[in-house]
Structure 1
Amino acid sequence: MAWIYLSLAIVFEIIFALGASASHGFTKLKVSVITVVGVVGGIYFISLALKTLDVGVGYPIWTGVGAVGTVIFGALIFKEKITPAKVVCFVAIIGGVVGLKSLAGA
Protein backbone atom coordinates (compact mmCIF):
# COMPACT_ATOMS: atom_id res chain seq x y z
CA MET A 1 0.00 0.00 0.00
CA ALA A 2 2.95 2.32 0.66
CA TRP A 3 3.83 2.37 -3.05
CA ILE A 4 0.28 3.36 -3.93
CA TYR A 5 0.46 6.19 -1.40
CA LEU A 6 3.81 7.22 -2.82
CA SER A 7 2.37 7.24 -6.34
CA LEU A 8 -0.50 9.44 -5.22
CA ALA A 9 1.95 11.75 -3.44
CA ILE A 10 3.89 12.10 -6.70
CA VAL A 11 0.73 12.99 -8.64
CA PHE A 12 -0.18 15.64 -6.07
CA GLU A 13 3.41 16.95 -6.09
CA ILE A 14 3.21 17.48 -9.85
CA ILE A 15 -0.19 19.18 -9.49
CA PHE A 16 1.30 21.46 -6.85
CA ALA A 17 4.34 22.42 -8.91
CA LEU A 18 2.37 23.08 -12.10
CA GLY A 19 -0.29 24.96 -10.16
CA ALA A 20 2.29 27.13 -8.43
CA SER A 21 3.52 28.22 -11.84
CA ALA A 22 0.06 28.69 -13.33
CA SER A 23 -1.29 30.62 -10.32
CA HIS A 24 1.03 33.55 -11.07
CA GLY A 25 1.91 34.13 -7.44
CA PHE A 26 -1.50 33.04 -6.15
CA THR A 27 -3.26 35.79 -8.11
CA LYS A 28 -5.60 33.33 -9.86
CA LEU A 29 -8.07 31.96 -7.31
CA LYS A 30 -9.13 28.71 -9.01
CA VAL A 31 -5.57 27.65 -9.83
CA SER A 32 -4.41 28.74 -6.37
CA VAL A 33 -6.97 26.43 -4.74
CA ILE A 34 -5.81 23.55 -6.95
CA THR A 35 -2.22 24.34 -5.96
CA VAL A 36 -3.04 24.21 -2.25
CA VAL A 37 -4.91 20.92 -2.73
CA GLY A 38 -1.82 19.61 -4.53
CA VAL A 39 0.60 20.50 -1.75
CA VAL A 40 -1.69 19.26 1.03
CA GLY A 41 -2.44 16.04 -0.86
CA GLY A 42 1.24 15.49 -1.57
CA ILE A 43 2.25 15.90 2.05
CA TYR A 44 -0.64 13.75 3.25
CA PHE A 45 0.15 10.83 0.95
CA ILE A 46 3.93 11.01 1.42
CA SER A 47 3.36 10.88 5.18
CA LEU A 48 1.26 7.73 4.74
CA ALA A 49 3.90 6.18 2.47
CA LEU A 50 6.66 6.95 4.96
CA LYS A 51 4.87 5.01 7.69
CA THR A 52 6.34 1.88 6.10
CA LEU A 53 8.94 3.08 3.58
CA ASP A 54 12.31 4.32 4.76
CA VAL A 55 12.49 8.10 4.47
CA GLY A 56 15.79 7.67 2.62
CA VAL A 57 13.91 5.75 -0.08
CA GLY A 58 10.45 7.33 -0.18
CA TYR A 59 11.38 10.99 -0.04
CA PRO A 60 13.99 10.94 -2.84
CA ILE A 61 11.63 8.95 -5.06
CA TRP A 62 8.83 11.43 -4.34
CA THR A 63 10.93 14.46 -5.17
CA GLY A 64 12.80 12.85 -8.08
CA VAL A 65 9.82 11.42 -9.93
CA GLY A 66 7.85 14.55 -9.09
CA ALA A 67 10.60 16.68 -10.64
CA VAL A 68 10.75 14.59 -13.81
CA GLY A 69 6.96 14.59 -14.09
CA THR A 70 6.84 18.34 -13.56
CA VAL A 71 9.34 18.94 -16.35
CA ILE A 72 7.48 16.63 -18.73
CA PHE A 73 4.09 18.17 -18.00
CA GLY A 74 5.63 21.65 -18.00
CA ALA A 75 6.74 20.98 -21.56
CA LEU A 76 3.33 19.63 -22.56
CA ILE A 77 1.23 22.29 -20.85
CA PHE A 78 3.44 25.40 -20.77
CA LYS A 79 5.56 24.60 -23.85
CA GLU A 80 8.78 24.67 -21.78
CA LYS A 81 11.86 23.36 -23.57
CA ILE A 82 13.32 19.94 -22.83
CA THR A 83 17.00 20.20 -23.66
CA PRO A 84 19.51 17.36 -24.06
CA ALA A 85 21.01 18.37 -20.71
CA LYS A 86 17.60 17.97 -19.05
CA VAL A 87 17.23 14.52 -20.63
CA VAL A 88 20.60 13.47 -19.17
CA CYS A 89 19.44 14.68 -15.77
CA PHE A 90 16.14 12.77 -16.13
CA VAL A 91 18.05 9.59 -16.87
CA ALA A 92 20.21 10.13 -13.78
CA ILE A 93 17.15 10.74 -11.60
CA ILE A 94 15.31 7.72 -12.98
CA GLY A 95 18.42 5.58 -12.49
CA GLY A 96 18.57 6.73 -8.88
CA VAL A 97 14.89 5.99 -8.37
CA VAL A 98 15.26 2.49 -9.81
CA GLY A 99 18.28 1.93 -7.57
CA LEU A 100 16.45 3.12 -4.47
CA LYS A 101 13.39 1.01 -5.28
CA SER A 102 15.56 -2.07 -5.73
CA LEU A 103 17.25 -1.39 -2.39
CA ALA A 104 13.96 -0.75 -0.57
CA GLY A 105 13.62 -4.37 0.47
CA ALA A 106 17.31 -4.81 1.32
Structure 2
Amino acid sequence: MAWVYIFFAGLLEIGWALGLKASEGFTRPLPTVFTLIAAALSFWLLALAMRDLPAGTAYAVWSGIGAFGTVVLGIVLFQDAVSAPRLLCLGLILAGIIGLKMFSS
Protein backbone atom coordinates (compact mmCIF):
# COMPACT_ATOMS: atom_id res chain seq x y z
CA MET A 1 0.00 0.00 0.00
CA ALA A 2 2.95 2.33 0.62
CA TRP A 3 3.74 2.49 -3.10
CA VAL A 4 0.15 3.46 -3.85
CA TYR A 5 0.44 6.26 -1.30
CA ILE A 6 3.67 7.46 -2.90
CA PHE A 7 2.14 7.40 -6.38
CA PHE A 8 -0.84 9.54 -5.38
CA ALA A 9 1.33 11.80 -3.22
CA GLY A 10 3.50 12.40 -6.29
CA LEU A 11 0.47 13.24 -8.42
CA LEU A 12 -0.68 15.70 -5.78
CA GLU A 13 2.80 17.20 -5.74
CA ILE A 14 2.44 17.86 -9.46
CA GLY A 15 -0.92 19.50 -8.71
CA TRP A 16 0.39 21.81 -6.03
CA ALA A 17 3.50 22.72 -8.00
CA LEU A 18 1.36 23.77 -10.96
CA GLY A 19 -1.07 25.39 -8.54
CA LEU A 20 1.75 27.61 -7.29
CA LYS A 21 2.20 28.97 -10.79
CA ALA A 22 -1.55 29.38 -11.27
CA SER A 23 -1.92 31.16 -7.92
CA GLU A 24 0.41 33.94 -9.13
CA GLY A 25 2.18 34.32 -5.81
CA PHE A 26 -0.93 33.43 -3.78
CA THR A 27 -2.80 36.40 -5.19
CA ARG A 28 -5.58 34.31 -6.79
CA PRO A 29 -7.84 32.73 -4.15
CA LEU A 30 -9.08 29.59 -5.91
CA PRO A 31 -5.68 28.35 -7.14
CA THR A 32 -4.21 29.25 -3.74
CA VAL A 33 -6.76 27.10 -1.89
CA PHE A 34 -6.24 24.25 -4.36
CA THR A 35 -2.46 24.49 -3.91
CA LEU A 36 -2.64 24.41 -0.12
CA ILE A 37 -5.04 21.45 -0.05
CA ALA A 38 -3.03 19.49 -2.62
CA ALA A 39 0.20 20.16 -0.70
CA ALA A 40 -1.32 19.05 2.61
CA LEU A 41 -2.72 15.86 1.09
CA SER A 42 0.56 15.15 -0.69
CA PHE A 43 2.56 15.46 2.54
CA TRP A 44 0.02 13.34 4.41
CA LEU A 45 0.26 10.52 1.86
CA LEU A 46 4.06 10.79 1.89
CA ALA A 47 4.01 10.44 5.68
CA LEU A 48 1.79 7.35 5.41
CA ALA A 49 4.15 5.80 2.87
CA MET A 50 7.13 6.45 5.14
CA ARG A 51 5.63 4.10 7.72
CA ASP A 52 6.72 1.20 5.51
CA LEU A 53 9.35 2.59 3.14
CA PRO A 54 12.79 3.99 3.91
CA ALA A 55 12.64 7.77 4.17
CA GLY A 56 15.19 8.35 1.42
CA THR A 57 13.43 6.04 -1.02
CA ALA A 58 9.99 7.47 -0.31
CA TYR A 59 11.17 11.05 -0.59
CA ALA A 60 13.19 10.47 -3.77
CA VAL A 61 10.33 8.70 -5.54
CA TRP A 62 7.80 11.31 -4.36
CA SER A 63 9.93 14.23 -5.50
CA GLY A 64 10.87 12.41 -8.72
CA ILE A 65 7.24 11.85 -9.67
CA GLY A 66 6.52 15.48 -8.86
CA ALA A 67 9.49 16.80 -10.80
CA PHE A 68 8.88 14.60 -13.84
CA GLY A 69 5.18 15.40 -14.02
CA THR A 70 5.65 19.10 -13.41
CA VAL A 71 8.22 19.40 -16.19
CA VAL A 72 6.07 17.43 -18.64
CA LEU A 73 2.96 19.44 -17.85
CA GLY A 74 4.98 22.67 -17.96
CA ILE A 75 5.93 21.77 -21.50
CA VAL A 76 2.36 20.86 -22.44
CA LEU A 77 0.45 23.60 -20.60
CA PHE A 78 2.89 26.50 -20.42
CA GLN A 79 5.01 25.92 -23.51
CA ASP A 80 8.17 25.48 -21.43
CA ALA A 81 11.27 24.83 -23.50
CA VAL A 82 11.83 21.37 -24.99
CA SER A 83 15.35 20.28 -25.84
CA ALA A 84 17.28 17.04 -26.10
CA PRO A 85 19.19 17.68 -22.84
CA ARG A 86 15.93 18.37 -20.94
CA LEU A 87 14.37 15.20 -22.32
CA LEU A 88 17.49 13.23 -21.40
CA CYS A 89 17.29 14.56 -17.86
CA LEU A 90 13.62 13.62 -17.68
CA GLY A 91 14.59 10.11 -18.75
CA LEU A 92 17.18 9.98 -15.98
CA ILE A 93 14.60 11.05 -13.40
CA LEU A 94 12.24 8.35 -14.66
CA ALA A 95 15.03 5.76 -14.56
CA GLY A 96 15.78 6.76 -10.96
CA ILE A 97 12.15 6.38 -9.92
CA ILE A 98 11.89 2.96 -11.58
CA GLY A 99 15.24 1.87 -10.16
CA LEU A 100 14.31 2.82 -6.61
CA LYS A 101 11.03 0.94 -6.95
CA MET A 102 12.70 -2.15 -8.40
CA PHE A 103 15.52 -2.33 -5.85
CA SER A 104 13.58 -1.41 -2.71
CA SER A 105 12.15 -3.97 -0.36
Q: Give the TM-score of the pair, scaled to structure 1.
A: 0.94
Q: Can you give the 5+ residue segments of structure 1 that lack an aligned partner in the other structure?
A: none
Deviation at 1:13, TM superposition (A): 0.2
| Aligned partners of 2:9 and 2:62 also within 8 Å | yes
Residues 60-89 of structure 1: CA deviation (Å, up to 9, x unaligned): 011011101001111222221222111111
Q: Can you give the 5+ residue segments of structure 2 that lack an aligned partner in the other structure?
A: none
What is the identity percentage for the equivalent residue pairs of Structure 1 and Structure 2? 35
Residues 35-74 of structure 1: CA deviation (Å, up to 9, x unaligned): 1011101101000111101112111011011101001111
Moved over 4 A (4+): none
Q: CA RMSD in A?
A: 0.9
Write the distance in 2 (CA, Å) between the matches of 1:5 and 1:99: 18
Write the distance in 2 (CA, Å) between the matches of 1:30 and 1:23: 8
The count of corresponding residues between Structure 1 and Structure 2 is: 105
